[in-house]
Amino acid sequence: MKEERKNMDSPKMMELTVESVESSPFQTRSDFPDEGLRELAESIKREGLLQPILVRPKNGRYELIAGERRLRAAKMAGLSRVPAIVRRPSDVEARVESLMENLQREELNQMDRARGLLALKEATGASWRGLAEILGLTERRVMQLVQLTKLEEGVQAMIARGALPGRVGITLAGLDGVEQLEMAEMARTEGWSSGALAEKIKRAKGKTGETALAERKAEEVRRREVYASVLYRVMDPLLQFLETSLQFAREITGAERKEVMGRLERLERALMRFKAEVMSSR
């Protein structure tokens, strides 16, 4: 009986149709940049998919454990079938393997890495020190990353999209919500390093009363002036481009239409939110 179980659980190499593979419910990675996917897709077109994806059977189909980025790029490259290693781990084992695979990725953004650490601790019950040893990190580094999950959502979003370095976010963790958001925006606009931000915070905490209030107001006015200037420099060329690109819109191919429409819809939603905020401030 044990021998039968061993054979059933032994990994198998198979070739699967891309339509038969479903994304993992344990996927913590939220960002798959188009440029990186296109580069990988071109490599797959030239050389094929060299590293198999990892899956497990689920409800007559296959559930992805590791290889989301490879699968997406393979679809982009036009592949109908992909090599896969088929295993039969439990839900807990599959979740741990998926998280481990993602946490080892260098290109993973810092917020996804931090959330992945929390999920991995929940799945394994390991200590922070134990997780640090498994991942080859120091315990201090693990705890720093976890601090990012305690930041305000607006600050987390800035880190996730790469507008704010993770180390700057760690420096913000000791501030309250309003201060976090204010200092994060200034750090982003001014390009402050974590060291420069720490010095600004130290100086701000050393001031009290009218002096601190006056300096904060002056900084706010200056920041608004800088923001407006940057906004106009971005908006004017965009408006000009859209107004002079109607011929491009008429000649767009079917393959490009879906991607362009997706970006236009995101732009439209962002503009509607921005317009609503501008109108509400009147």
The domain boundary residue, chosen from 69, 91, 113: 91
pLDDT digits (tens, 9 = 90+) for 56-88: 998 899 999 888 888 989 999 999 999 999 988
- 8 assigned to some structural domain: yes
Q: Confidence class of residue 106 from pLDDT cuts 50, 70 and 90?
A: low
Q: Please state, in angstroms and rounded to a whole number, the distance separating the CA atoms of residues 190 and 84.
A: 47
pLDDT digits (tens, 9 = 90+) for 12-59: 899 999 999 998 777 666 666 677 788 888 988 888 888 898 999 988
* Residue 94 and residue 24 in contact, taking contact as beta carbons nearer than 8 Å: yes
Q: Where are the beta strands (DSSP E) in 26-165?
A: 53-58, 61-66, 81-86
Q: Please state, in angstroms and rounded to a whole number, the distance separating the CA atoms of residues 27 and 92.
A: 13
Mean pLDDT of the chain: 78
Are 59 and 30 within one domain? yes
The domain boundary residue, chosen from 55, 75, 91: 91
Are 238 and 249 within one domain? no
- 142 assigned to some structural domain: no
Helix H or strand E encompassing 170: helix 166-172
pLDDT more than 70, % of the chain? 77
- 85 assigned to some structural domain: yes
- 125 assigned to some structural domain: no
- 105 assigned to some structural domain: no
pLDDT more than 90, % of the chain? 9
Calculate mean pLDDT across residues 165-192: 86
Query: Which residue range(s) make up the domain with 63?
Result: 2-91
- 122 assigned to some structural domain: no
Are 267 and 238 within one domain? no
> Which residue in 32, 22, 14 sits closest to 81, CA to CA?
14
* Residue 162 and residue 144 in contact, taking contact as beta carbons nearer than 8 Å: no
DSSP secondary-structure letter at 247?
A: H
Strand partners, 179: none
Calculate mean pLDDT across residues 224-232: 55
pLDDT at position 83 is 92
The domain boundary residue, chosen from 65, 91, 117: 91
What's the predicted TM-score (pTM) here? Answer: 0.52
Are 218 and 282 within one domain? no
Note the Cα 34 to chain centre separation in Å. 13
Q: Which residues 6+ apart lie within 8 Å of 170 measured at CB?
A: 144, 145, 147, 148, 194
- 237 assigned to some structural domain: yes
In the chain, the number of structural domains is 3
* Residue 108 and residue 100 in contact, taking contact as beta carbons nearer than 8 Å: no
What is the separation, in whole angstroms, between the first and last Cα of the chain? 75
3-state SS class at 29: coil
Are 224 and 249 within one domain? no
- 87 assigned to some structural domain: yes
